[in-house]
Structure 1
Amino acid sequence: MTEQAVDEGGVRLSAKAPADGVFLGRTRELKELRADIERAGLDTLSGKKAPRARVLLIAGRPGSGRTALAEELVRQVAHRYEHGVLRVRLSETDGTPVPVGRAARELLNALERTVPPGAGDDDLTEALRDALADRRTLLLLDDAAGAEQVDALLPDNPGCLVVAVSAGPLTGIADVRPCTLGGLDTKSAVELLSGRIDPVRVTVDPRAAEGLVEECQAHPAALTLAAGWLTVRPKAAVADLAKQLRAEGDETAPLARVFKLLYTALPAPAARILRLLALAPAGPVDPHTASALAGCSVSGARTTLDDFVRFGLLRPVPSPVPEYEIPGFLHPLLRALTETLDRPAELQLARARMLERTVRLLQSCRAITETDSPQAREKLLGMPRALRFPSPRAAEEWLRVRRPALLGAARLAVADGELDTLARRLLSQLVRAMVAHFGTRAAAPDLYGVHRLVLDVAERRDLPREQAAALLNLADLDAQTGRTNEALLRYRAALDAGRRANDPYATGRAMESVGGAHLELGDYERAADWFGRALGQRLARAEHADAARLYGRIATAHTYAGRYGEALRNWRAAAAGHRRCGDLAAHARALSELARVQEYAGRPVESLRTCKEAVEWARRAEDVRLQAALHLRIADTFDRLGDPVTAGVHRGTAERMLAEEGEEGPPGLDQGKHAGNACEIRSASAED
């Protein structure tokens, strides 16, 4: 594989980051774009202050070199923007527009701004504008599908600059400075050609090279593919290709004519792999994807992908794992080939192989984290070597790098509609792998989208149990980010689905969560009622530990409502239940909450006695932090009873315990409104 690859149509010659490549031509366009940055805008000319960032538009068809020109402009002016450069692509490889909310979230992630999972597009774009309000930043919005996308992401800060790349005008955005691209100048076009093949082949016949440039209309992508054809045919002369292009006629665009010649020059297996890449999910492709689509070995697929880079058909992506990008101009050509040459059943089988491979890679990615599980180790060793990761760190890196493609595969599987069994397995394994490596909190924004996909499949296939699981997971994420009303609606829907599925766990979990939502909203009577319904189910199923916990949640609701008699009765029931279950620490905590309510009810002596009993149970449970918290509460009670000496003794005991444990600060005892709501139902299938 050579070090040369073409960025968006053939102007930049580098397999590395765009800034490391050699840029050819476009001198006039660059000069005009830089002048547009300096030129006063319409608002300035009219005496007004510019309300938003200036927008420079680089317009051209895919393959015209528009992204390369944008990157070169960014490289030349980036030093003027002290807060750096942000990049985001606004269309998928197949041309599908990226939702504005997803693009805004990617930009916010780059700014290290935390955004709640499930936030709407308007909230995300507003958060982005707030984040950029006091920053001098350059935004590169690549492959914009329309003005609406750019307008939604435009900062309300004239100190920022937006460089937008699009196929057409951005109608509706004021004061846009457009730069429309045509072909390269002849000198740069010949340099592009000679940079990708043996330059001697150009030197010996410069007129033929200029003739080839003319046949390609100096189109960067067409010239790149022309160089690919000459690479496949090392004994052919440049004039031979120009002659064949002339023989093809002028009915089609030069890009399509050159691609047709290059495609027919490929060996049949390579040609099949190439056209099947059109089925790959959004984002870069890797050898595993190509291998699964074509049904060949991973090593063979990688060799073929590297050859495609040499031929200008793919671009390598700088990445810790092998990745390749399909140029935007190539995707519609590949899709047309698959529709013509492959039967629908063959394409469906290729998609199924790809999704199955993705599922197995995710299984391997998760299994390597389960170092204490003999079953996981045995399953991992039973996988082919090509699917195994050398270490948990390598698996995490793979998951992080491949995240966009994995999420794209999930969306593709759900959208297909005929591969729902595979889609459910893929979604389940994706959730488990992300939680195992990143944790639930860090992965929450992605998990929110995955749970929505689970819900789509469950509703389409009428799977009420999985529907309940997805609704519960979505509602939990809503509740954690303060969208309590939305969470309440989803918990109620999950309850209905759980009842339809006759799933007692989902039903009980939903009832308890409905109660928790009412508690958060301050409706304590309804909260206690729903906790009571959940308690009745737990008692009927003899689930004593959960019943004891629910007694505590009912008591908490009554405490907030000021009904101390009911709260005391339920805390006593909770303490007795935990004691019967042998959970000494939970028993001690229930007694501590009982003491708190006794104090609220104006019974300090009873509270003191209960606290001392709780200290003894906490000592038996070896919960030093709880003991310290109880001693502090006892100290406060003695202070209110007018005995500061005894209060000082208990406070000193608490401080000594914390010091021995290496703790700092006073320990807390309050269970809070959300106590006991930490259960989780895994979305989709439990199959490994």
Structure 2
Amino acid sequence: MFIALLGPVLGRLHGREVSLGAPRQQAIAAILACSAGKVVLKEHLIDGLWGEDPPKSAEQSVYTYVAGLRNVLEPGRGSRGEPRILVGVPGGYSLHVDPLHVDCVAFSARLEDAARRRAEGDLEGCLDQLDLALELWRGPALPGVPGPFAEARRLHLDELRVTAMERRAEVMVELGRYQEILPSLMKLVNEQPLREGLRESLMRALHLSGRQAEALEVFRDGEHLLAEELGVDPGERLRAYRDVILRGETPAPAPPIITVPRQLPRDLLGFVGRTTEQLRIRSHLAPWDEAPPTPVVAISGPPGAGKSALAVHVAHAVARRFPDGQLYVNLRGGTPGVKRLTQAQALGRLLRALGTVPERVPVDLDEAAALWRDLLSDRRVLVLLDDAANLAQVRPLLSLPAGCAVLVTSRETLAPADDCVQVRLGTLQDAEAVTMLARLTEASRTSADPAATTRLVRLCDGLPLALRIAGARLASRPDWTVGMLVDRLADEQRRLHELESGDLAVRSGLTASWQALHDSDHPTDRTAARLLLLLALIRVPDVSTEVAAALLNAPAAEAERALDRLVDANLVERGRAWHYQMHDLVRLFASEHVVADRVACLDRVLGYYLVSVEHATRLMDPHRVQADSPAVQMRPHPVTDRDEAHDWLNAEEPNLVAAAAQAMDDPDERIARLGAALSIALRWFQRHSYSLVDMISLCQRALAVARRLSDDAMALEAHGGIASGFGHQGQVDTAVRHLNEELKLARRLGDRFAEQRALGNLANSYVDVGRHDLTLRHAMAQLKIATEIGSQVGQRYALLMAGHANGRLRRFAEAEECLTSALAMARKVGDLGHEGAILGVLGLVKIDEGDLDAGVEALTAGLAVARTVKSLNTEMNCLITLARAHRLLGRPRQARAFLSEAASLSRAMQSAEFSRQVAEERQAQGAGDALPLAGLV
């Protein structure tokens, strides 16, 4: 079987030509043939035939064309025989044909062999291979074959054909057969008047034949055409040969053989990981369909991410696709203590690697760049530029002729470069990192303690450089276990010191990146360098642009530019919208630097957090009274309604909790006070969202700060927060103890609002343990004080508690009187928080009274209000009571539905108390479904 694409598309089967069908079927045959022996996915066939807008019937059409090809390629197979040549595989097809039995593949192989022979000095062998390659052509490639694949392949193959003819002419001249080649050379130059290589060969052949005037005329014709068509001057090689003729020199019969450089550094043995990134880079440098490579592929990432190792590994993997050589230059853009290469120095190295003698390397940068492009014209070369400082350093090296590609690594983003594909490296996946450690040291050591190995990976931030250092330390200390190294790295004060081995160090790479920003002439770079150090001051999961602006004491736009600059330098990462993250090793590096205005920076950030929480809390529930807090001058995060406020608090809570906890440990009194105030301000949201563990922990820390500063007002608020958290967890004794402390402090301070609030919360605590007499006593005491000081919120809450207690005591008339009064007061002022809670208790009272329909009505309304204000506690109470009500009404389906919602919510809340109530109701539903309604009531 032989497939011919270099001319009319056809097959040869057992020496007999066969038609491959209609044009679109020929297109499918061409795509499969160009990847002979490999799997071609159906998606690639569809893309190759129709591009980005395939018809709905595309997949079915592919099946039809494949079936047609099978009939042609295996005419005797029969309808039920298994195909052996065009084989279906999962997701696509594979053409089982020797690749060299596809003429365009054989053509490319012979061109590669010719280039190798020429590099070795075997000019006759080179010429033989070029002749064999050109003999494969029977006319224009893929004539009449439709689709994007055929169009791109046609252009590519036609370019290669002209290149082959150009190389043949050069070799003929080098062999001294210039008289023989002159007629065909003249014809080629007429057909391809802008190909400077052909024109130079013709000039050389004419000159060596003693026809200098004609040779100069060929130059002048080319000069005129290039200026008219492209607006450029002839290249340096063409001009140089013109000068040779003008000086009357006799050129050597054959110019020096152009070397084929193989400069890639050695590939790492046992390279591990980066599978996804490898596949992506290879798909651009060596496309599956043999299309030209992407001109520029940039690998960026933080110091130590393994950019260079990955680039070298992939470059070796695709080297065969670049038969004219692989060039390598270390640009030293991030090497500490070593001056980076200039553009001119980098160009000089590359030009010399291509055979340019040092004295012929142009001094002028533009001329050197032009010669660089000229030397690569009609060649396929891969250029690996390692460790670029920035785009400016490599820009003159990137604009290469088609067929060449640049693979460049940098800590900076190079995405703005023309025709550039950016591949960013993050941290290694845990499995890849563990495998890397196992290869660097004995696998038995890492497998002996998997937990310690995983911990070591995390302490190294998944960075290959850090892992290499850790592996080297373990390898050089066979008596150490992985756990011993973990213990040493766990100490943040010495972690970067421990991550040093020989000339490898994580700190040095980070220093170089930061120093480049710090020493830059650009103001944004210097701001970014300062911001990196400031970000280490506050240990939160991520920072917003507003937090960065507070740290810098600058407008948000300036902070955003600085953050984006740090992202481009791969020192921070973008996270969720308008938020940025810093890896632990970067944070440790930044924290080693002293920030003179540390307290002022923290003051601004904590002030921003505090006023933002207070503003958002007021929007969520304007009727909850907030504690007094330190005065700050910051503007809050802009939210405009309840939903926006809830979403911001919910998303920002991990940062708020971390910032508050850090601040309360600070030795500075002002910072500690702001941290305590932030903890107390978070109480309302955390109670509604059931973030009880964080709520208790923060308020306990606030209580410690209050005692340290002898601040009774702060202690009072902290006791109230602790009590609320424990109370919602069902730990009533602990809650009551803290509420009594709150009450004692309120009376000592003469704070009557805090006094009545503590009484109300004590009343609520006694409800939970069935001490309804105590609930009534404390509720009435609260009502008395609240009435005296004019606190309507206190009055509403006292009536709610009194109604709840009376209901449990089966004093239904008194309960309903209290609850309806409280409900009217809440609705009058729009207090939805209290309204939802009151409706929930009213529904419970109605059910206990036996008025099930009224109970369901109140609970349904209460559930809707609870969901509006996002009070999970009220929502759970309503769901469980509604499940009970529908069970009592003999509606098992509705009862189970509400119970299912309650069970899901209790799991999300991780509430042991609500889980217990759900279990009790589930048991009641299982026992009572078959009983008559009268018996239940």
Q: TM-score, normalized by length of structure 2? A: 0.35
| Greater C-alpha radius of gyration | 2
> Which has the bigger relative contact order, CA under 8 A and spacing at least 6?
1
